[in-house]
Amino acid sequence: MNAVDGRLEGKVAVITGAASGQGRAAARLFAKEGARVVVADLNDEGAQEVVRDITDSGGEAATARVDVSREAEVEDMIRQAVEEFGRLDVLFNNAGVGYSASDRMKMASVVETPEKDWDTILAINLKGVAMGCKHAIPIMEEQGGGAIVNNASINALVGLPGADAYTAAKGGIVSLTRVLAVDWGPKNIRINCICPGGVETPMIAPVLSDEQVLSLMRESTPLGRLARPEEIAQVALFLASDEASYLNGAILPVDGGWTAR
């Protein structure tokens, strides 16, 4: 896989939730731009498929099976990246659960959300990001710098009812991004956050199956459509690259204009 512009040439990137959706698109794009990529996911079969796609095209990649809600597994993921490729330059904290997990945990208002589901959703969507940062930052500090991109949601920026644990976790990612950017910017570690709107991924497939809801989402977006995963990946690539060398602590809506209303 020959780099088009080589924006990540020579860099090592870890992407969580990389077996599908936005993470899968980012893994392919980062590799295309020259990165050696660790495709991290609980879905080992899906991760291996992504790695095959990358290596078949001439890139370098490896899998890491990880449950981001467990600190020990996140620590192992980061250690594996360094052992495999010798360094760590980029972390894309992308893993998360949403409506596609509705059969396992309830996506509802705070009043209707069982405690165990609240804890599970926050453990994956917020704690997972925190643990990724916790174990990546010391390595980046020792190397003299790095870039972390956290994936949140427009739910973190506006009041969208119906998935309050998800919303609370995504809001936490925004606040965590800001404080880490202040703490670690002096060490040349840039930490930024993407807040996607509706994206055509398996995560929101149950929602998109309702034509009425899909029409409403399109009507609420000035561009009149949902994003493709590749469009979010392009923003993550920019933030991870040296082209964004003066961006730190940015909270960037990528929502087709939804939050501009």
Catalytic residues: 166
- 56-83 residues labelled b (16+ CB within 10 A) or e (exposed): eeebbbbbbbbbbbebebbbbbbebbbe
Question: Strand pairing partners for 141?
Answer: none
Query: Is the Cβ–Cβ distance between 166 and 160 less than 8 Å?
Result: no
Residue 60: phi and psi, rounded to 5, are: -120, 130
Compute the residue count for the chain. Answer: 261
Phi–psi pair at 239, nearest 5 degrees: -65, -30
Q: What are phi and psi of 195, to 5 degrees?
A: -120, 85
For 43, counting Cβ atoms within 10 Å of its Cβ (0-12 exposed, 13-18 middle, 19+ buried), the class is middle
Got the DSSP string for 138-197? HHHHHHT-EEEEEE--GGGTS--TT-HHHHHHHHHHHHHHHHHHHHHGGGTEEEEEEEE-
- The number of angstroms, rounded, from the C-alpha of 22 to the middle of its chain's C-alpha atoms is 7
Residue 203: alpha-carbon gap to chain centroid: 13
Neighbours of 200 (CB within 10 A): 16
